[in-house]
Amino acid sequence: MQNLPKIMLKAALLLFISAYTSMAQNADAVLGVWKNGEGTGMVQIYKKADKYYGKIVWLKVVNDPDGTPRKDINNPDEKLRPRPLKGLENLRDFVFKGENKWEEGRIYDPKTGNDYACEMTMVDENTLEVRGFIGVSLFGRTDVWKRQVKKS
């Protein structure tokens, strides 16, 4: 009877470790819909072949004041400015590197029209740190995204 608490503690610890390990090694754990830190947009992360991409699926402000859908007006390429923001692929080419990290990707910021190197790290099942940077990760900014919908 005295060993029961020790056995229960070991079982709980084993369960925690196995759950963490399975999340840490699950490349598809990032799939789903995520809300950005400002709460102004949601991005659906999906997989194409062996890489991960994301597209804007929801905007807090969907239309411009004239009632037309918001467009990519800050894009440096004038030919791309008429494209709608909703449906825009703004994450591309991410590769799963293990330990809850996806790297070697790019992120496009439609607010500025800039494209950055990017890496993503899952802090927990519902929290994603998205870091855009120029050159090295040291010179960048991290946004914390919250999961809205998990891929089933």
Mean residue pLDDT across the chain: 88
Evaluate whether residue 120 is within a structural domain.
yes
Domain ranges, residue 86: 28-150
Whichever domain contains 35, its CATH number is 2.40.128.520
Enclosing H/E stretch for 114: strand 114-124
pTM value > 0.95: no
Evaluate whether residue 44 is within a structural domain.
yes
Evaluate whether residue 35 is within a structural domain.
yes
pLDDT per position as a tens digit, 90-115: 999 999 999 999 999 999 999 999 99
Burial of 58 (0-12, 13-18, 19+ CB in 10 A): middle
pLDDT per position as a tens digit, 8-61: 445 444 444 444 444 447 999 999 999 999 999 999 999 999 999 999 999 999
Q: What are phi and psi of 78, to 5 degrees?
A: -55, -35
Evaluate whether residue 5 is within a structural domain.
no
Q: What's the number of domains the chain is made of?
A: 1
**Cα-based distances in Å from 80 to 34, 75, 88, 90, 92:** 25, 6, 11, 13, 17
Q: What are phi and psi of 114, to 5 degrees?
A: -95, 150
pLDDT per position as a tens digit, 116-135: 999 999 999 999 999 999 98
How far is residue 137's CA from residue 13's CA, in Å, rounded to a whole number? 34
